Copies of this chain bind each other. A is one copy, B any other.
Amino acid sequence: MKKNRDCDLKTCFLCQHAIPEWLSAVAANRRHQAFKKGEMLFREGEPATGIYFLYDGKVKVHKQWGPEKELIIRLAKKGDILGHRGFGSDQRLYPVSATALEDGTYCYVNNAFFEASLKVNPALTYRLMQFYAAELQEAEKKMRNLVHMDVKSRLADALLEISRVYGDKQFTINRQDLASLAGATYETIYRTLQDFTQQGLIEAEGKSITILQEKKLRQLLTAAL
């Protein structure tokens, strides 16, 4: 089985929910593509031409603010969907950018085909709707957190999320991305990270971070409430 050319039914959202009659059509219309760390899959403000199914690798979804500032909206991992935010708007521009945090592969289909899929496959539409609903909940929770929690709690939250996405207590991330994820500046994150290290909550050397006391990090979240 050619792993790089064929969709793994277990990981690709589209194939997972494709009706049998459409599997060949899906195969004909999708485009598999490898990408490198740092590469932008799509850019905020560009016309939304299609939708991406992340096959492998981690990707950050972020929104720009001015020339220097950004906010990381979400981290995506294997099996996640990207570019779906273009749907529902009139203009069909990507409202966010997607940048690879590591090498990986995606599966792309253009909007026309994807919409056709949705039309003939209500179950797919239904699942996608659920996916949106879940994302919406996450977004709104994060919204509240950004307003009401201090940086320390937001950083704890960010670390736990990264750990969850990577499926490991140890992971690699640069400080700037960490700052953008927590919604704070580089310097502040640097200091807070140092604080956490001194308290023995985490271990940080270089870009590698290990969570030592997950429980205490979680307490920071609930304590802020």
Contact = CB atoms under 8 A, between A and B. Distances in A.
Contact of A148 (B69, B96, B130): B69
Interface string A78-105: 0000001101110000011000000000
A51 to B, nearest CB: 11
Interface string A122-148: 100110111111111101111110111
Interface residues of A, number: 39
A66 interface: yes
A138 to B, nearest CB: 9
A134 B65 contact: no
The secondary-structure label for the interface of chain A is helix
Interface in A47-74: 63, 65-66, 69, 71, 73
9 contacts: A71-B144, A73-B140, A95-B140, A125-B126, A129-B129, A132-B132, A132-B136, A135-B136, A146-B147
Interface of A: 63, 65-66, 69, 71, 73, 84-85, 87-89, 95-96, 118-119, 122, 125-126, 128-137, 139-144, 146-148, 183, 225
A17 to B, nearest CB: 13
